[in-house]
């Protein structure tokens, strides 16, 4: 064997070792969707961390992580069975939302000189794709190293959007980090904004509100909204309750006399992380003083929607039977900005044929004393 071949062989072995799966993956049935399509749930385990992801809405159903004493708890809101998810089309617990995460004003946008109309489902606006969005679809799953990849094909004209859109959402566990990789492609010019809509409660789901959690968001700007939560532009966080550049408990200013907080009943806004797309950066850090759990969110997306569960109202009961009251979970939805198709100055959400869009988000868990 020549030296070149020896080097090549050892490089191949080294890269195989580098990609050897460290997390284990199992699958099981999880009931059926409303039309009787079977739903499966995948369990990914890495040490003490366990993520369960189901094919209905490609949703995170549970996420167990240790607290400062090593005690494991489930830090996301959700239901114990499909009946719970089918009875609740409003909260989007754990789901991948699309085609367009967050709102499109009046359900209208213009692309290549043509106006498109999509369903309105929220105060006359389109929210998370409109009715029958990706959260309501049964995705196709494939086991991959350290996790599962979910695929959904949305037909040309689905919900009024142009182009056949193919979305791959890959969930993998790496130590205590849950990584989500999105790949979105289309056969015609279209728009898309795909994100995960998990509600976190770092004290454990069903363990009270999230107001004591200490949040850092390293962003100088955010997108203020009008009365129906559509962005009006970009503004500085300086001197406002939206300035989370220094660690601040959510409850410190959430009920401050501030028009933006009044409109949304708390935080429900997009923070501008960057106007360039594609570089990995920290989006947010949340420290839960009760459990010692820390969540760090990093993303290649330009924005993050920080939503404090203001519209939860106690009418739904979660996995352990506890009513999910107002502000008992927070979302950090890494994304492009809401209503971007109607804001030429926001980073574009257009997807063109032959140019798949990739993005990555990491939810990393650690603890503090």
Positions that interact with ligand BGC (CB under 6 A): 91-92, 102, 127, 229, 268, 305, 307, 311, 333
Helices (H), the chain: 3-18, 82-86, 259-264
Q: What's the CA gap between 119 and 330, in Å, rounded?
A: 26
Among residues 40, 50, 128, 197, the one annotated as catalytic is 197
Q: What's the CA gap between 205 and 150, in Å, rounded?
A: 25
Both tokens of 100, joined, read 């367009």
Minimum distance of ligand BGC from residue 131's CB (angstroms): 13
Residue (62 or 305) nearer to ligand BGC, CB: 305
Residue (52 or 128) nearer to ligand BGC, CB: 128
Half-sphere exposure of 323 (CA within 13 A, CB side): 6
Minimum distance of ligand BGC from residue 196's CB (angstroms): 11
Minimum distance of ligand BGC from residue 68's CB (angstroms): 30
Among residues 50, 149, 333, 336, the one annotated as catalytic is 333
Minimum distance of ligand BGC from residue 101's CB (angstroms): 7
Residue (269 or 293) nearer to ligand BGC, CB: 269
Residue (125 or 300) nearer to ligand BGC, CB: 125
DSSP 313-364: -S-SB-TTS-B--TTS-BEEEEESPTTGGG-TTSPP-EEBTTB-EEEEEEEE
DSSP symbol at 255: T
DSSP symbol at 31: E
Assess whether 197 carries a catalytic annotation.
yes
Q: What's the CA gap between 349 and 177, in Å, rounded?
A: 27
**In DSSP terms, which residues pair with 304 in a beta bridge?**
271, 334
CB 296 within 8 A of CB 285: yes
Q: What's the CA gap between 334 and 102, in Å, rounded?
A: 11
48: which residues sit within 8 A by CB, 6+ positions away?
Answer: 64, 65, 66, 70, 72, 176
Minimum distance of ligand BGC from residue 61's CB (angstroms): 17
Q: Residue 41: which region, alpha, beta or left (left: phi > 0; alpha: psi -120 to 50)? A: beta
CA angle, 282 as apex, 299 and 301 as ends, to 5°? 25
Assess whether 50 carries a catalytic annotation.
no
Minimum distance of ligand BGC from residue 304's CB (angstroms): 11
Spatial CA neighbour of 30 closest among 40, 42, 43: 40
Residue (291 or 335) nearer to ligand BGC, CB: 335
Residue (127 or 294) nearer to ligand BGC, CB: 127
Catalytic site residues?
197, 333
């Amino acid at each position: 064997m020549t030296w070149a071949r020896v080097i090549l062989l050892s490089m191949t072995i080294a890269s195989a070792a580098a990609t050897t799966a460290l997390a284990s993956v199992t699958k099981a049935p999880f009931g059926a969707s409303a039309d009787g399509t079977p739903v499966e749930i995948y369990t990914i385990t890495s040490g003490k961390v366990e993520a369960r992801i189901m094919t209905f809405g490609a949703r995170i159903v549970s996420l167990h992580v240790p607290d400062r004493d090593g005690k494991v708890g489930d830090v996301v809101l959700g239901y114990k069975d499909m009946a719970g998810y089918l009875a609740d089309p409003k909260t989007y617990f754990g789901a991948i939302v699309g085609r367009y995460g967050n709102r499109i004003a009046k359900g209208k946008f213009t692309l290549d000189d043509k106006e498109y109309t999509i369903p309105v489902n929220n105060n006359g606006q389109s929210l998370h794709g409109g009715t029958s969005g990706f959260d309501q679809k049964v995705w196709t799953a494939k086991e991959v190293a350290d996790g599962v990849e979910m695929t959904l094909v949305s037909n040309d004209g689905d919900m009024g959007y142009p182009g056949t859109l193919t979305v791959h959402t890959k969930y993998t566990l790496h130590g205590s980090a849950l990584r989500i990789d999105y790949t979105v492609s289309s056969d015609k010019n279209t728009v898309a904004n795909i994100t995960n809509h998990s509600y976190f409660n770092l004290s454990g789901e069903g363990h009270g509100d999230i107001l004591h959690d200490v949040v850092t968001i390293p962003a100088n700007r955010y997108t203020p909204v009008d009365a129906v939560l559509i962005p009006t532009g970009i503004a500085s966080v300086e001197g406002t309750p939206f300035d989370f550049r220094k660690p601040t408990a959510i409850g410190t200013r959430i009920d401050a006399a501030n028009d933006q907080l009044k409109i949304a009943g708390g935080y429900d806004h997009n923070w501008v992380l960057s106007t360039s797309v594609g570089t990995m950066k920290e989006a947010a850090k949340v420290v839960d003083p009760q459990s010692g759990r820390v969540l760090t969110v990093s993303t290649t997306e330009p924005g993050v929607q920080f939503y404090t569960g203001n519209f939860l109202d106690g009418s739904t009961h979660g996995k352990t039977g506890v009513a999910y009251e107002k502000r008992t979970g927070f979302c950090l939805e890494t994304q492009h900005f809401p209503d971007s198709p109607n804001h030429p100055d926001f980073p574009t959400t257009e997807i063109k044929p032959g140019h798949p869009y990739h993005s990555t988000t990491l939810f990393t868990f650690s603890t503090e004393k």
